[in-house]
């Protein structure tokens, strides 16, 4: 007997099914994608026992006539391509002609379909991939597919399915993913007889994201001759510690995909906007010719391949970076009902359940003047004595300083605001530096009376020598000596001469940014570096925590903060303001507000 044998068709098909059909969610995916390719504007998905017992997908698409119903479950039967070249011009979800054949092989299946021109609908019943019956049915335009007892003929596969709650969540999550990119389609999902969700078709992508996920998002756009990117992201303060909590969904021509290059582009764009350990919510929609990418890498077409990763990187990176750097003016905030989430300082109950929202109208800000640098106590007394003078206007009252780190402010809503003095000034310095740099393309320098020498590793010295022009552009005039770095000029914004440790930290930070950005092989290194480097400079030039401030200094910091485009987070993404509402405080001490 030969060791090598030819497998029978049934075994071959079941093996192929294992690559495409892993669980009930896989069946839902294949059937819903077929419905979308058929032009459906309404798709209803029903499951029993999380899809293990039954999966039904009902659509109002163009349907199939008698001949097509008979052909659709044969292997490699497809309406999408005619020859191999057609694969590179596919805009539909499926084209291999395997979905219905593989599902039919591992289940009991019914297909009911009809077109507007056919006299009847036709019902095809299959079991274990074999036709059991084929009869005319009541007139129906569209297609209904019922899948019963998934993997009934492969018990080993059934054992690998997880709990009903897990399998149901996989189906629900995927349907949400596909509903996001198909806003013109109504999706209904039933678990047994319970309606899980009903997403009504709409024309607005932002509204669709809100309907499906309850998220308010902001748009970022990019267009070039090859790629058009449409990106939506939530407030940069809405970030998460784990990948499972952050929603980063990517689409190419409305097809959900996974792609490391796009993930990296998001990371780079938000690099100086959020803490390093956090991830933002981002939804990326790319439109490009199918000839540029290949979707045949993954059996379920989740991964795509391109010749040049920059095809994906720059449309995402540039769109996000440019939008984030512009900030959000107050009209954007009000028009899109954007509110900054602020962490409560109260006990666990409040911090988890009473997250407050705070929006500042920068046009109404008018800090109470104080030219005499009064003590905190005198200022409070003065504010009380002059209550009548200020009660008719919307004012902010600076109460004082807590722990030489937070500026305490009472706002016109009677909330207590704690403003981190360092990051508040850092935000202002960053935006001022960015505006100045974009105007003059350089940072103003100040000459040191005596040059400062730093001992730095040779690898960094080589990088400084290679990119001396970049350091000078950002305010550092440096001379490279054997084993040492001589600093002759530093940025004016620093306002002082930092100690050697601080200077070394800044230079190494600049080196690391230059090295990291150089790997992207960009044509405009200085432009792409300006945010990360100006962030570093603004941090070093800002007042530190644990610094005693007078009222005038506090007033200046708060006043400057609310002239910025984004007074909510520092350039590193840390929150600037913490709010304690009157209601929270009164509830805490048992007083009625």
Q: Where in the chain is the domain with CATH 3.30.230.10?
A: 215-326
Task: Quote the DSSP letter at residue 368.
Answer: P
In DSSP notation, 270-336 reads TTTTS-TT-EE-EEEEEE--TTTEE-TTSTTS-B-EES-THHHHHHHHHHHHHHHHH---HHHHHHT
For domain 215-326, the question of CATH label 3.30.365.10 is answered with no
What is the CATH number assigned to the segment(s) 9-199? 3.30.565.10
User: For residues 246 and 494, what is the distance between their CA atoms, to the nearest angstrom?
Assistant: 36
Q: Are 473 and 526 in contact (CB under 8 A)?
A: yes
Q: Per-residue confidence at 327, pLDDT binned at 50, 70, 90?
A: low
Give me the mean pLDDT over the 310-314 stretch.
83
Strands 42-48 and 186-191: parallel
Q: What pLDDT, on a 0 to 100 scale, did the predictor assign at position 122? A: 94
Q: Which of 92-96, 224-228, 330-334 has the highest mean pLDDT?
A: 224-228
Give me the mean pLDDT over the 232-246 stretch.
76
pLDDT digits (tens, 9 = 90+) for 505-546: 888 888 888 887 766 655 577 877 888 888 888 888 899 999
Q: Per-residue confidence at 483, pLDDT binned at 50, 70, 90?
A: confident
Q: What pTM was estimated for this model as a whole? A: 0.62
Q: Which of 16-30, 161-175, 238-252, 489-503 has the highest mean pLDDT?
A: 161-175
Which pair of structure tokens corresponds to residue 254? 């409305």
User: For residues 464 and 480, what is the distance between their CA atoms, to the nearest angstrom?
Assistant: 7
Q: Where in the chain is the domain with CATH 3.30.1540.20?
A: 349-593
pLDDT digits (tens, 9 = 90+) for 369-423: 333 333 333 333 333 333 333 336 446 889 999 999 999 999 877 889 999 999 9
pLDDT above 60 (res 334): no
User: For residues 146 and 161, what is the distance between their CA atoms, to the nearest angstrom?
Assistant: 20
Helix, strand, coil percent content, the chain, rounded in steps of 5: 40, 25, 35
Give me the mean pLDDT over the 310-321 stretch.
87
Average pLDDT, the chain: 79
pLDDT digits (tens, 9 = 90+) for 100-116: 888 888 899 999 999 99
Q: Where in the chain is the domain with CATH 3.30.565.10?
A: 9-199
Percent of the chain with pLDDT over 70: 76
User: For residues 474 and 436, what is the distance between their CA atoms, to the nearest angstrom?
Assistant: 11
Give me the mean pLDDT over the 24-33 stretch.
93
Task: Quote the DSSP letter at residue 575.
Answer: B
Give me the mean pLDDT over the 423-443 stretch.
90
pLDDT above 50 (res 572): yes
What is the three-state SS of 118-167?
CCCEEEEEEECCEEEEEEEECCCCEEEEEEECCCCCCHHHHHCCCCHHHH
Q: What pLDDT, on a 0 to 100 scale, did the predictor assign at position 361? A: 31
CATH fold of 349-593, please? formyl-coa transferase, domain 3 (3.30.1540)
pLDDT above 80 (res 4): no
Count of CA atoms in the C-beta half-sphere (13 A) of 146? 11
User: For residues 389 and 369, what is the distance between their CA atoms, to the nearest angstrom?
Assistant: 13
Q: What φ, ψ does residue 300 adopt, rounded to 5°?
A: -95, 10
User: For residues 113 and 66, what is the distance between their CA atoms, to the nearest angstrom?
Assistant: 8
Give me the mean pLDDT over the 239-256 stretch.
82
List of residues 6+ apart from 50 with CB closer than 8 A: 24, 163, 164, 165, 166, 167, 168, 171, 191
Give me the mean pLDDT over the 561-571 stretch.
82
pLDDT digits (tens, 9 = 90+) for 125-135: 999 888 999 99
List of residues 6+ apart from 113 with CB closer than 8 A: 63, 64, 68, 69, 121, 122, 140, 142, 143, 144
């Amino acid at each position: 007997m030969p060791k090598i044998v030819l497998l029978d068709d049934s075994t071959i098909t079941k093996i192929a099914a294992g690559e495409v059909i892993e669980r009930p969610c896989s069946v839902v995916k294949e059937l819903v994608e077929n419905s979308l390719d058929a032009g459906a504007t309404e798709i209803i998905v029903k499951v029993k026992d999380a899809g293990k017992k039954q999966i039904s997908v009902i659509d109002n698409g163009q349907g199939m006539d008698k001949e097509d119903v008979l052909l659709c479950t044969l292997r490699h039967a497809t309406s999408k391509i005619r020859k191999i070249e057609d694969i590179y011009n596919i805009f539909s979800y499926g084209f291999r002609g395997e979905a219905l054949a593989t599902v039919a092989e591992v289940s009991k299946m019914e297909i009911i379909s009809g077109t507007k021109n056919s006299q009847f609908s036709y019902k095809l019943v299959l079991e274990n991939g074999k036709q059991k019956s084929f009869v005319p049915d009541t007139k129906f335009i569209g297609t209904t597919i019922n899948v019963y007892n998934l993997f009934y003929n492969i018990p080993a596969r059934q054992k690998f399915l997880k709990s009903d709650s897990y399998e149901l969540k996989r189906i629900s999550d995927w349907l949400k993913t596909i509903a996001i990119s198909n806003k013109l389609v109504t999706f209904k999902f039933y678990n047994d007889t319970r309606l899980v969700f009903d997403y009504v078709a709409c024309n607005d992508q932002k509204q669709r994201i809100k309907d499906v996920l309850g998220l308010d998002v902001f748009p970022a756009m990019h267009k070039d001759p090859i790629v058009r990117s449409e990106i939506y992201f939530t407030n940069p303060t809405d970030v998460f510690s784990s990948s499972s909590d952050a929603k980063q969904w990517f689409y190419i021509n409305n097809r959900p995909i996974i792609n490391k290059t796009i993930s990296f582009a998001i990371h780079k764009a938000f690099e100086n906007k959020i803490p390093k350990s956090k991830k933002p919510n981002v939804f990326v929609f790319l439109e490009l010719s199918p000839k540029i990418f290949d979707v045949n890498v993954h059996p379920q077409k989740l991964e795509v391949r391109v010749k040049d990763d920059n095809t994906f990187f720059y449309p995402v990176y540039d769109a996000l970076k440019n939008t984030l750097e512009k900030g959000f003016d107050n009209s954007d905030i009000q028009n899109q009902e954007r509110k900054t989430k602020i962490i409560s300082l109260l006990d666990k109950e409040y911090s988890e359940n009473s997250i407050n929202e705070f929006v500042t109208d920068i046009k109404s800000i008018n800090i109470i003047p104080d030219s005499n640098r009064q003590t905190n106590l005198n200022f409070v007394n003065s504010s009380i004595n002059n209550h009548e003078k200020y009660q008719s206007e919307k004012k902010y009252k600076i109460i004082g300083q807590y722990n030489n780190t937070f500026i305490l402010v009472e706002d016109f809503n009677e909330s207590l605001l704690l403003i981190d003095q360092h990051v508040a000034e850092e935000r202002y310095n960053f935006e001022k530096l960015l505006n100045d740099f974009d105007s003059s393309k350089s940072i103003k320098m100040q000459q040191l009376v005596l040059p400062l020498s730093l001992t730095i590793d040779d690898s960094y010295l080589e990088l400084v020598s290679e990119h001396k022009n970049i350091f000078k552009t950002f305010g550092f005039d440096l001379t490279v000596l054997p084993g040492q770095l001589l600093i002759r000029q530093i940025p004016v914004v620093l306002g002082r001469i930092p100690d050697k440790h601080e200077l070394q930290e800044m230079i190494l930070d600049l080196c690391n940014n230059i090295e990291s950005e150089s790997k992207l092989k960009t044509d405009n290194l200085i432009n792409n570096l300006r945010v990360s480097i100006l962030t570093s400079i603004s941090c070093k030039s800002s007042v530190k925590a644990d610094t005693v401030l007078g009222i005038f200094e506090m007033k200046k910091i708060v006043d400057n903060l609310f002239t910025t485009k984004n007074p909510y987070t520092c350039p590193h993404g840390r929150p600037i303001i913490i709010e304690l509402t009157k209601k929270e405080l009164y509830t805490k001490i048992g007083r009625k507000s």
